[in-house]
A and B are shown apart, each in its own frame.
Chain A
């Protein structure tokens, strides 16, 4: 037991060290968001519990509108993404078709295309069709990475539902709609939840496209952070920007707590 406890102490120290290294920048951002300007300019690592930054974040229109827009767009992406992807994932996982490997590869390249490459055509296309700087435009643009992730994730859940259930249902005279409503969707509930969360995360975190295809009405929180940082002399806004950054972290924290065992799936393939 003695030998073990020395090992345990070492392990404990290692863990404490790792937690400090990985958590400190997050802690420091929270500290900055809770500090007055005088404290921030000293680089203090203890806050003076100044709530002005948070009050600003929720009372200045450009900040609370940005938070609202981020929520609307991410929620819209979840709704539209699931609506489009559940049927597609069903087909993708049930029916073998020629060239499905190539199709999958195309999905992959959509996910991997650098946002800067897409931003130029989006800017022109969206302005032409009058959806630039609207929530619709942002949701549409985000489908370029959300649909591939959603199809991939959902399909990997659907293949675990035995095909025999499909056959039985259709033999019993279920229409496609009844089959979806009574069998597939209830069985797919965990998959839908996980997919919804990942769509939310990727849409909520996206910044580059948002900064190009939105400007005032539909500007997201991440794009607003970029604008703030890009402004000359933004040092005076460190506090409120830090508060905004802290808000952007919330979905990630919830996801870590809620979906730990699905993380690997969503990340490795979601990133593709």
Chain B
């Protein structure tokens, strides 16, 4: 069977073309000023410029803050929902389906939905108006940021829910039954039997959501386009702006490489957690 390794070749070739080859032009552009009046070699100037680029650091800070907030909401919320709805049953299936639903939709459609919800005459504005809050994401940066967080929680609590539900469903019921007959409270059962079994899924979801939220683009772009001003601009949006709006490919490539490096470091962590004692498949 060993001589069938060549079956790998077609997939590998394509993957190299679209996955690895693009890195070379990126590296190449990051030390030049391509597609500008004069294309010259600038060495590491682009990378030096990053250090003093306040818009970049603002985007990084904002993105990290955003990631922390959504993790702090989505993980406990997903856990609580999974705790209550993981068992089979009609009501539970209905609730599960509703929670999972947003995860299946395109990011841009989610953004569009929330753009409609958050429009000046939209339902969100009307409800907040009733309780005396003037809501307008086009002028109020805090509200815009908060709306992006609500949208993300709505969209991705589903992932935490899915993973935790699967973990609950996969648990051996005998220790739980034994504890129950011994008179353990629900909290004790959760704390000492179920929670230890959830550590792996927990880390897994945290890292997944962390990486994913660092890549946020579509929904936030549709909802606020980074505004008002640059107050809700995330890393991906900034890079897109530099490269595809200002046509500064050199600097955009340098930023991309730094960004990619950050994501890869996180991937290494995911990989280590994923494969610890579990194997690849």
Contacts and interface: CB of A to CB of B under 8 A. Distances in A.
B47 interface: no
Interface string B146-176: 0000000010000100110110000000000
Given A94-B1, A176-B4, A114 B215 contact: yes
A35 B18 CA distance: 43
Nearest to A271: B208
Q: For the complex, would chain A's binding face be called helix, strand, loop or mixed by DSSP majority?
A: helix
Question: Which of A15, A22, A114 lies at the interface centre, i.e. has the most chain B CB atoms within 10 A of its CB?
Answer: A114
Contact of B113 (A19, A245, A263): A245
Contacts of B40: none
Given A95-B4, A109-B267, A205 B15 contact: no
Contacts of B206: none
B91 A11 contact: yes
Interface stretch (A47-55, A61-69, A187-195, A221-229): A221-229
Interface string A146-178: 011001000110010000001000100000100
Contact of A43 (B122, B159, B214): B122
Interface in A252-271: 252-253, 255-256, 260, 263-264, 267-268, 271
Contacts of A251: 104
Interface in B116-138: 116-117, 119, 121-123, 125-126
Contacts of B8: 87-88, 91-92
A155 B281 contact: yes
Contacts of A22: 98-99, 101-102, 154
A15 B243 contact: no
B159 A267 contact: yes
A23 B11 contact: no
A116 B5 contact: no
A109 B271 CA distance: 10
B interface SS class: helix
Interface residues of A, number: 96
Interface string A76-113: 00000001110110111111010011001111111011
A116 B256 contact: yes
A125 B154 contact: no
Contact of A121 (B1, B25, B91, B215): B25
A252 B98 CA distance: 12
Nearest to B18: A144
Nearest to B159: A267
A255 B159 contact: no
A72 interface: no
A121 B24 CA distance: 9
Interface string B14-48: 11011101111110010000000000000000000
Interface stretch (B68-76, B187-195, B257-265): B257-265
A144 B280 CA distance: 20
A201 interface: yes
A33 to B, nearest CB: 10
A140 B240 CA distance: 21
Contact of A91 (B5, B109, B117): B5
A45 interface: yes
Contacts of A117: 26, 239, 256-257, 259-260
B121 A42 contact: yes
B139 interface: no
A208 B244 contact: no
Contacts of B122: 28, 43
B19 A144 contact: yes
A243 B55 CA distance: 36
B239 A116 contact: yes
Interface of B: 1-2, 4-5, 7-8, 10-12, 14-15, 17-19, 21-26, 29, 81, 84, 91-92, 94-95, 97-117, 119, 121-123, 125-126, 154, 159, 162-163, 165-166, 204, 208, 211-212, 214-215, 217-218, 221-222, 225, 236, 239-240, 243-244, 249, 252-253, 256-257, 259-260, 263-264, 266-268, 270-271, 274-275, 280-281
Given A87-B11, A115-B236, A140-B14, 10 more contacts: A18-B99, A22-B99, A23-B98, A85-B11, A90-B4, A112-B266, A225-B222, A253-B101, A256-B104, A264-B162
5 contacts: A87-B8, A91-B7, A108-B271, A117-B256, A204-B106
